[in-house]
Every structure is written in C-alpha cells, then in structure tokens.
Structure 1
Amino acid sequence: MSSIATVLEETVSQIRFCVDDVELAKNLLPVNDALPQLEEKLGRNIITFSHEKSLKLIVDAYVHPLAHAVHSAFSDHRPLVLTPDIIWITIAQGFAQHVNNNAEKLRSHFVQHEGKQKLVVEILEIPKSGQRWSDLIQDWTLQIRDHVGADLYRLIECTFSTTTPITQTVSHIVMMDTFQQYFDYEMRGICGIPDITLMGTVDDWQDIYTRVQSIAQYDLGWWTNRVLPICREFVKTASGNPSLSFWQAIYKPKKIYGGELITGWLAELFPYLKYSVTEIPSVRNPILSIARVDLTVDDGISPKSIPIGLSQVPVTFILPNNKYNLELVAGFLGVCQNEGGELKPEIGWALRQKEGWELKPELGWALQIQGDRFAELLNKIQREHITQVPIDWTKFEFGFDSVPKEIVQLLDRFNGATLFADSGHSWKISKYNNTFSDTCTMYKIAWSDQLNYQLNYHDKRVTNLIDLEDGRCIAYNSVSIIVLGDLVLRSDASDNEICQFELENVVIIAKSIPDLFERILQAKGEYYFDDPNFENIQ
C-alpha cells in the first residue's frame, strides 16, 4: 500500500504536500515577456492576447509547457502547481486529436450531417478586446452545442472551482478544435448606415409611385412589381413612419448578409445589368425573378454589373460645309460629401466631343478631325491580326455609291483579314476583287416573327461581312444592322436571282459595323453571342 505524502498545507480549494526529499532551488529561472515568445513560436504577429502584455514566462524550451514545467521542477528541484483546468485541457486536447484522426468513423456519434456545416457569428467591427473575442468564441461553441448536444458541450467545457474566464475560453477553443472536421467557423462583418436623410415631400414620393405605375404598361411589369413596394416605403417614410427593417435591408439584409454581392432592395432598382463581354446593360437583372423572401446570399448582384448611371445621347452639329457628331451625357456624376460626412449621389450633365473630334472654343463651334474610334479599332486590327493589302481603288469605277462609309474606311486599311486566326474561333473578313456589286455576296434573311418586327422588307437583304470558323456568317443590311445566321442554299431561288443563299436562325448581334468590331475585340475573339446571357439586340 502506498504511503501518504506529508501534507504541508490544506484548504477546501487546494492541498500542498511533499514529494521528494531534495533541496529546494534557491534561484529563480530567467523569464521573458510572454507575447514575443508566443509570436516567435507561431511565426506571426498576435492580434489579440488573453493576458496582459506584462505577463512573463520562463524561457521557452519549445516543448509542451506541462512537460516543461514538470521537467524543470524535477530537474531543478522546484515546486510545481497543477490545476483541474491544466490537466483537463491536456486531456481534452488529446480527445480532440482522436476525433480529428477518426472523424468519419466517429461522425455518427456527434453530428447528423455530411461534410462540413458553417457556423457563423456576426459582428459590426473586428473586436478589439479579449472579452469580446471570448464572447464570439462562446457563440461558436453554443452553435456546436446545438449539433452535438448539451452533454458533450458540458463534457469539454472547463467549469471547475479553479476555472477562470481565460481557461473557460481555452476550453471552448479546444471544443472548436475537437469538431473542426464537421464545422467551418466564419465571422462575418455586419456593416450599417448610421442615419439617412430622405428629402422631398410626401407628394413628391407619391408622384414617383404613380409614375412607376404608369411605365408598367410598357411590358415592364416584371420590374415595376418589385419597385412599387419600395416606392410605398418611401411614401411612408416621408410621412414620418420610416420602417427600420426596410431601411436596414437597403444593401445587405442581415439574413442574407455576406460576400461582395448586393442582396438588398437597392438591387431591384436596376432592371438591366451589364453584359460581361460588351459592358452594355442588356441582361435582365436575375434577382427580379426570385421572390425576395427566397433570396440567398448567392443570389445578389455584383456592384460592378450595375450600369454606370450615365445616359448618353448623340447630337448632330451641322455647319454650312460639314456635319459633326457630339454627345450629351447626363445622370450620376459621382458621390458628394458635405462637412458632416454625409454622402449624396450627385446628378449633372455634360456635352462631350465624340471620339475623333476636338472642340476648339477659340474658333467658336469649329471642330477638328482627330481620327475616330473606328479608325483606332482598325489600327489595332492591323497591328495584332492578319490583314491583306488595302484595296486598289483604280480598279473600281462604280458600285460603291451605296456602300457604308465604314466599309470604305476598312478597305482603305486592308482588303480582307483574319482575326484571332489560331484561336479556334477565328473571324474571316470578306475580300473584294472587282466592282463591289460583282464581288460581295448577298443573302436573304429567313422569315422570323421577331426579326419581321425589327426589320422592314428591304432590310432583309443583307451583305456578307465575316465568315466564322464554325460555318456561320455575319452580314449587314442597308442601315448597317449586324446579323448572325446559319448559311443555307435557298430552294426557291431562281438562277438569275442575286440572293442564292439565305440565313437561318438569325439574331441581331450589333447595331453598327464599328459596334461589331468593338464587341469582337472586347470579347478577345470569343463568339460573344454564344454566351447564354446574350440577348438579341433590339
């Protein structure tokens, strides 16, 4: 039977006793600041620390501190202190290692789900205090408890007479470690708007509601049905009854908060989003097809997909001997900030010169040609793609009177070209040999109710412009609308008829020849019209 050690001191909460008959060490071990030691051990900076920065520890031996303490006490004849927390944390960490090493074998003992579930805590800002971090850590472990049960939660948590807030938080982190094969731990920042000033009278906002009702008749019900409830809330707010839940949901509602996507009702004010290839707002906003109550974090829209907020209108400036193109630009210029820090979108307008023209105020309204955007595109094609020599105009005495000026401009640079030749999606621009009427190929567009609505009878005869690698053709009509279609031999064409072929499955892919080349280069040669999000251009 083992003998009982001599008790030196005993209370309800502790006992001190003799172990070995050795001479007690008289000197203290050297110590260093705890925080730098921990940072050196981890190889990175510490953001938050459980203890005061003044905490000092004996010089780290890079072994488990329990083993280090026992070794130093044994070797140097030093007294040792142990607590329930120290021993239980050691055991709990061993339990965590076992669960992590046998996660799938033990899964059914702890959770009912497969894979990992996300456990999320929400914060307004990154916590600055250790106490706040402890609260967040407990939030995670309480969510673990909901899955593994209260018994396992209590099994791992330190709740001893010696337990401090620090050791309890440590036990919570050990618990997170134990079940990390079943859960991912996420902390999401919840941002917010301190206050909003809604200007305007009740009548102003009621007027907007009525206007939205009016535009619904133009095949816009799919949009206005979502905008009208928003307008009703504006009226209520202007009447002195702002709904807190409505305004908190303007950008990222709490229940679908996360990531960089806009999930709030702000997204519903934009019926069309930018098509990724052309940057033109032609794609219906997908969020409008999902009931707001069914929206998830992944259903939001990217801020970069929203149109830039500027309306652009071409204006023709006519002088006695010349005609020039300008453009009116209006809408949202940017965001203003007042001295109080309030932010407000600023509305304004401008008149700009079209690319290729420079306004000379000192000459009144005179304009000077600088080379237009289409010329820049043609220059880029000549630099980066395979082009043929320019056309020899001396061989063309007639036939070009009705040719679009852009085709003439193109032929001045090159007569025939292949864009993105080795890409698997090349674009072969037609070449002309004699008179235009002899060498250009004309097609008839196959009947289509949609195209019949968009094109008149004469527009349905089109001229070949580009052959694609997959056999499809791109052609333009008399007003330079660009179409794409499958080339087929007409069964009803007579031998002397100009259009021996017709285009089937036709879609409008650009509004002009320059627009087509702009899209081709923006898409880096990809057949942009094959994208599932591409919509027939109106």
Structure 2
Amino acid sequence: MLSPDAIWLTIAQGVAQHVRLNAEALRPRLVRHTGREAIKVDWLGELPTTHDAWRDIIDAFREKVAEHTGPGLARLLVCDFSTSTDVDRIASEIVLMDAVSPYFDFFVACVCGIPEVTLTGTPEDWRKIRERIDVIEELELRQWARSLKPIADEFVRASEGRPDVAMWRRIYKPRKAYGWKRITGWVARLFPYVKSAGTVSVPNPLLALRLSQPDDTGSPNEWYNGPGIALEDAPCGPSSMLVRVEDLIGGRTEELEASGGLMGIEQDEHGALRPVSAYVIRRPEASILDVADRIVREHRYTVDERDPLRSLVAGTAEQIALAERIGTATLAFSGERTWRLRGRRDRELVDVKLSDGTTELIQRWLDLPNGLFLAHALTRKGSAYVLGDERFLVRPPPLEGTDPVTGLSYAHPPIEVWPKRLETTQWAQDVPVVGSSLAAILLHALEHDGELPPRAPSTLDDHAVIPIVPQREPPARDPRSA
C-alpha cells in the first residue's frame, strides 16, 4: 500500500536536500536575513520525553519557520492529506526544518513559569473581595491592606476582561529570574505573616515595600537573591481549633478538633492546577487539656504568670492550649528517666539540612533520656514532631568575610539571639518523625512509662522537601484537527 504521505515525504526530502546543497543561491527566495538566526521554542517543564510533548514542540517550530519564511514553504512541504496522521505531519515538519537548516539554528528552552491564569466567578464576586479589604484595614492591618488593594483592583479588572498583563507577569517573580524557592511577586503579599521559629508569626517583609518592588532590574539569566520570602516560610496547611462539646443528653463532654482552609491542589485533564478547600471535624488522637490536667496531678510543673511571653499567641492549637496551662514540666518515670518540657524561653531553634539543599527549622520542645530531644517542625505536610540527638548539635559557624571598604578580612562569633539558634550535623533523612500530635505523644509516654509511641518509617525530609512533580502532558489531539 502506498499513501500520499509516503510519496510526498520522499519528494519533500529531495527538496530539502536540494535546498541544503544550494542554500546561498536560494537564500533570496526563502529568507530575508543573512547568516543564521536562532529559532527558540519555550517548553514549560523538564526535558520533554513523550510523543505529545514533541508533537507540540515540532508544531511550534513549524509556526516559527513560517513567521520567518512566509507560510508558503510550510504549506508546500508539510503533509496535510486525508490520510495524514500526527506522525506523518511531524515527520514532514522535521523535513521542513531540515530544508531551512542552513538559515536557522533550532533551540528548545525548558523553562519554569505560569503560562496562564483563569479566574472563575463574576466581576461582582471580585468587587466584594475588594470591598472587604477596606473593612479588614480597620483591624490594624493598614500596611497589609495597602498591598492588597491594588491586587484586588487588578482581579476586578481582569474579571471584566481588562487584565494588566505586565502585572500578571509579576505574580511570582518581578522579572525573568531563575530560582523558584524565593517568592518575590505580588502573590506573596496575600500572607500578612510568614513562618519563623516554627510558627507563622513574623510580619511579611514584602509588605514594607511598594507593590512595584522588588523591581525588574538585573540580568534575566541570574539567580535572584533579593527581597522576598522563602517558599518554605510561606504559610501552609489549614487553620485548626479545639472545640469542647458538652453533650447534655448523654451526659458527657468531648473535645473535637476542627480544621479548615486550603488543603490541597487539584490538576485537571488539561494540566491546570486549582487550590482545593476542605474542612475536617475529628476527634484528636488525645485531648491536650486532659493531658495537661494529668501532668498537673501526677508530675512537677511550673506556671510563670509574670512571663510576658506567655501572652504571645503563636503555635498550633495544641501548643497554645498547653502553654496556657503549663510553663515547664518534668515527667518522672521508672529508672530515674525523665522527660522535661521546656518553657518558651528555653525552646532552642535548630537548622536541619534537607536533601534539596535547603534547611528546615525545628523547635526543641522536650528533652528525653540519653541526650535525645523532641522538636516541632511546621512542614509542608503540617505539624510534625521529630526525634533529634543533641550529640549532633553545633553552634553556627562564625561570620567571615572581607570588608568592602577596608579590604580587611574579619571573623565574628555568632550573635547571641533569642531564642537560641543551633545547627545539627544530622541530615533530615536521618531525623525520624514521631507523630503529628503533641497530646498523643505525651499521653503515650504517661501511659507507657516514658516510652515513645510506635512510629511509621517517615523522616523530616519526607515531610519538608517539596517533590518535583513531572508536568502532566495535555491530552492527545485528534489528528484530523491538524
């Protein structure tokens, strides 16, 4: 069987061979430039490896060749018969690229970025958000509202079909700078506070800048290290609270945990990502209030009412509830083994190295026997209590460098700050996760003579490192639509 595609591909390859052999003689008829020009196609994601990906890339090259040579040559060489399949068309487009290869160099740039944003809802919905920002400004949130107002105004304009494209290009980065782990665009201004010392309690530093800052100066090919917030410091996870339910009919009281907010990401068949909201009402693994009552009855504890730091509401619902009842505590078990619950002033911060080259900050909450300690981490998966070893703790290295004015070298010891900050030589892959509930861990220790609860084979690295998910390819197109 012979198809039109087979015959035409044979002829087209002959045309390509002729053009390559007579490139300069045919140049005035095919292109309008001298020498060689670069044709580049941007690909959103890592190195393409699938048929669908390369189909789209080769199609894009054909369109760019047509922009340079006019549509005639592409129409002449590309298969577009009733029998043509995707494979036939792609093969003929490669023949087209071969024919013009004396005039062009072809490049594929694998890039990261946001190709497009789709807004749902109506303009009236977005106007409601804008009006509500005027109200929250009255809650001593003037600086945050100053950033939110122009952002909300743009949502209104875009929903009406009048987007400011330049502003949307600044959503994550102020310019085309490599490096995705520092957010510098306006989307970071949706957070009034960012994570520090294990809690989301530090004012967002971007809010002190004008919306146009950081600006777009600098080389487009350099790694960006200017003002912004680290990706791991952006708030993640739901809001949660404890609810004490009094069942007057059944005559019992029960403590429930309510969690709600944005809890996930959904990807549709076209590869588009959408935040997903959800809520959960559940019985916690243990009641932190009951655990606190038991510690008060059975063990030594202190409450320092004069400590002004106790008024700082920061931490998980469990941590806040426990801090309201207990300052420090010593839990005594058999064999003179003790667990020591640290007070707020004594909770050291420890930097742990992750496998992706970044670090995760953990906060030391409990000292255990044999030099072990239990620390809290606020990771991308939520709260996690991990088991550290103080034998691996070290002070941060001294600050070293060269004075830019005098040219003299200097070395200063680390500045003493509160809370005390240390580093560990343990890698996060070697730091096991004990659990997600402080109440459950403490209750297990109280009921099992100071033993840690059994744990799944999970590490801090598993909870903290953001996996690189391969881009989902778009669905295959009908060849007849080409």
Q: Which of the two has greater strand per residue?
A: 2
> With structure 2 as the length reference, what TM-score do the two structures score?
0.41
* Larger RCO, structures 1/2 (Cα 8 Å, 6+ apart): 2
> With structure 1 as the length reference, what TM-score do the two structures score?
0.37
Structure with greater Cα Rg: 1
